[in-house]
């Protein structure tokens, strides 16, 4: 029997998605129908229902999303909440003492959405900080801080933000968030692997997951709640608005569209698990109503602006991709990796991104996404080149088309922000990074993991070979931390912030190195 072709797999996957959606696509309608429903009863709590803290996200010049989830017992699938609607009150003020309240209201927390609350604000003043809190029954949340963006036509003097990803709860402490909070950033970009789906103890170094590998909606809710219970993560969410996107571990390691990493997984079972993962993700993140999942589909790619200083295209490189070539093993850039039918973005997202880039009037155009775009020979051996097929080299044709588009359309100051790889990289991107005679097109800053992998070295063992073989790579490091970015109309500075020890409390966070990009040139300059 012959192996199914890619077209066969895509056709089958599309049919299964339609079949699955026929049974699971009613959630958005339900949410809309409950916007004006009544709470079932007044409620009081014996323990704090705001145990998971507060958060804000997806800011624009008029407002943002405010989030919380009621969970007096966060490690229970229902959070310890009764199966009834509960009324939650919210307030927004211009001061941290909450005396000058400028907006307030109530919203229902429903059991169908895990008693999460997503308040969308759209009538606030632009370019200023606000404070907010929630109340329910006799309980009151902590006070969070958030901000609006500048008006779209304004050119701000500067913006500061942090870039992070990959925070395996078992493998390291969230020490870096302590310094990030002190950095007073305007916003945070979290580029995926917010949680890990693995069973308890698989990667244990400092603490342990609750339960087995997560599959059900209740499983995903509990895992998210365990991660969100970390006080440093909670505090950072309360400091400023976040932009979030997922990678694979929010669902299933190295998945591709409807295809599991593991063989023999029934596609309908896979889609059912994905629907559970997507709903829990929506419930736990400060996302807008338009992001609410429809069964096993959830549109997460979207854009944001910081005036005319920066346009952010937040991508989803996991949900729409074709299967990784070469059985997802590191390999040369062979015909399979260069196949023009291979797609990381999918047709709709790629079209959206192209339109977003060409319409942009921003000084800096940023792709906030998951997997490394640099075509890096990871072996460092020219006689045995090895590229990651899970990253953009496995989709080399689409990658080169995208960079060619950016170059030919003269997109202003393209910068790629990346997570996933558990190491720091500073890359200069060409249409084809193997052709060093080509001109530079864009800059890529790859943020290491916040905790995943435990402590890592400043100088990886094959560092010299990788640098010698890959002209695109200007710096590489495997410590834990995040990137702090300071952007002005004239320049972009990235500080690679690293933690000396994530395996015990008291680790110190400091800038290992910094790079500057001048407006008008993608060349990396070490500061």
CA separation for the pair 441, 430 (Å, rounded):
5
**What pLDDT score does 217 carry?**
98
Same domain, residue pair 457 and 489? yes
Give 25-58 pLDDT, tens digit per residue.
Answer: 556 655 555 555 666 667 889 999 999 999 999 9
Pure H helices in 313-346 = none
30 in any annotated domain: no
- pLDDT surpasses 90 at 9: no
Longest Cα–Cα distance in the chain: 72
Which backbone phi and psi does 163 adopt, to 5 degrees?
A: -125, 125
Same domain, residue pair 111 and 211? no
**What pLDDT score does 42 carry?**
76
Same domain, residue pair 130 and 165? no
Same domain, residue pair 259 and 343? yes
CATH number at residue 126: 2.60.40.380
Domain that holds residue 184: 159-526
**What pLDDT score does 440 carry?**
98
- pLDDT surpasses 50 at 267: yes
**What pLDDT score does 259 carry?**
86
Q: Which 3 state secondary structure label does DSSP give 365?
A: strand
Same domain, residue pair 116 and 182? no
Give 199-245 pLDDT, tens digit per residue.
Answer: 999 988 899 999 999 999 999 999 999 999 999 999 999 999 999 99
Same domain, residue pair 351 and 411? yes
**What pLDDT score does 6 carry?**
45
* Strand 473-477 with 187-190, pairing: unpaired
Same domain, residue pair 167 and 315? yes
How large a percentage of the chain has pLDDT more than 90? 89
131 in any annotated domain: yes
The total number of structural domains that make up the chain: 2
This prediction has a pTM of: 0.94
* 320 DSSP 8-state letter: S
Same domain, residue pair 394 and 314? yes
- Among 87, 114, 147, the domain boundary falls at 147
CA separation for the pair 437, 416 (Å, rounded):
21
CATH number at residue 235: 3.60.21.70
DSSP β-bridge partners for residue 89: 106, 135
**What pLDDT score does 1 carry?**
31
Same domain, residue pair 71 and 217? no
Same domain, residue pair 320 and 370? yes
Angle between helices 396-408 and 347-359 (to 10 degrees): 20
11 in any annotated domain: no
9 in any annotated domain: no
- Among 102, 121, 147, the domain boundary falls at 147
Same domain, residue pair 255 and 395? yes
For residue 459, what are the contacts with CB-CB under 8 A and spacing of at least 6? 477
Average pLDDT over residues 391-405: 98
Which backbone phi and psi does 176 adopt, to 5 degrees?
A: -60, -30
68 in any annotated domain: yes
Average pLDDT over residues 434-448: 98
- Among 147, 181, 208, the domain boundary falls at 147
CA separation for the pair 311, 370 (Å, rounded):
17
What are the C-alpha distances in Å from 113 to residues 198, 250, 291, 366? 24, 17, 13, 32
Give 319-330 pLDDT, tens digit per residue.
Answer: 999 999 999 999
Reported as a pLDDT band with limits 50, 70 and 90, residue 2 is very low
282 in any annotated domain: yes
Same domain, residue pair 190 and 136? no
């Amino acid at each position: 029997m012959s192996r199914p072709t890619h077209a066969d797999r895509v056709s089958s996957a599309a049919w299964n998605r339609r079949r699955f959606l026929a049974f699971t696509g009613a959630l958005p309608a339900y949410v809309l129908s409950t916007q004006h429903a009544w709470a079932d009863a007044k409620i009081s709590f014996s323990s704090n229902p705001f145990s998971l803290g507060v958060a804000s996200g997806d800011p624009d010049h008029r407002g943002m999303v405010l989030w919380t989830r009621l969970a007096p017992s966060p490690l229970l699938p229902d959070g310890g909440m009764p199966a009834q609607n509960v009324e939650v009150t919210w307030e927004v003020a211009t001061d941290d003492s909450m005396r000058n309240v400028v907006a307030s209201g109530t919203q229902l927390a429903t059991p169908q959405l895990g008693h999460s609350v997503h308040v969308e604000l759209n009538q606030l003043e632009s370019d200023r900080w606000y404070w907010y809190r929630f109340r329910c029954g006799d309980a009151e949340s902590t006070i969070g801080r958030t901000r609006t963006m500048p008006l779209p036509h304004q050119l701000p003097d500067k913006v500061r933000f942090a870039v992070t990803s990959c925070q395996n709860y078992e493998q390291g402490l969230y020490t870096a968030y302590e310094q990030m909070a002190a950095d007073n950033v305007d916003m945070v970009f979290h580029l995926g692997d917010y949680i890990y789906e693995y069973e308890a103890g698989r990667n244990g170094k400092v603490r342990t997951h609750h339960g087995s590998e997560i599959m059900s909606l209740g499983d995903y809710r509990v895992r998210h709640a365990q991660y969100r219970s970390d006080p440093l993560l909670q505090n950072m969410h309360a400091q400023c608005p976040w932009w979030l996107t997922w990678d694979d571990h929010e669902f299933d390691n190295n998945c591709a569209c409807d295809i599991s990493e593991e063989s023999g997984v029934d596609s309908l079972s896979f889609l059912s698990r994905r629907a559970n993962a997507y709903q829990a993700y929506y419930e736990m993140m400060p996302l807008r109503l338009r992001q609410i999942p429809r069964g096993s589909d959830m549109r997460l790619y979207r854009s944001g602006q910081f005036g005319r200083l920066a346009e952010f295209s937040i991508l989803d490189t996991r949900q729409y991709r074709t299967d990784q070539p070469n059985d997802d093993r590191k390999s040369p850039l062979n015909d399979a990796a260069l196949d023009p039918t291979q797609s990381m973005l999918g047709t709709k997202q790629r079209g959206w991104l192209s339109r977003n880039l060409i319409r942009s009037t921003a000084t800096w155009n940023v792709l906030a996404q998951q997997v490394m775009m640099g075509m890096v020979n990871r072996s460092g051996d020219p006689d045995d080149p090895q590229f990651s097929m899970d990253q953009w080299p496995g989709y080399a044709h689409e990658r080169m088309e995208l960079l060619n588009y950016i170059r030919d359309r003269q997109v202003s100051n393209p910068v790629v922000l990346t997570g996933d790889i558990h190491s720091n990289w500073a890359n200069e991107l060409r249409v084809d990074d193997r052709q060093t005679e080509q001109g530079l097109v864009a800059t890529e800053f790859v943020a290491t993991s916040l905790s995943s992998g435990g402590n890592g070295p400043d100088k990886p063992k094959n560092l010299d070979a990788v640098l010698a073989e890959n002209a695109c790579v200007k710096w590489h490091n495997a410590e834990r931390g995040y990137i702090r970015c300071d952007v002005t109309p004239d320049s972009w500075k990235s500080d690679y912030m690293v933690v000396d020890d994530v395996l015990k409390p008291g680790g110190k966070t400091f800038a290992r190195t910094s790079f500057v990009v001048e407006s008008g040139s993608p060349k990396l300059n070490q500061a």
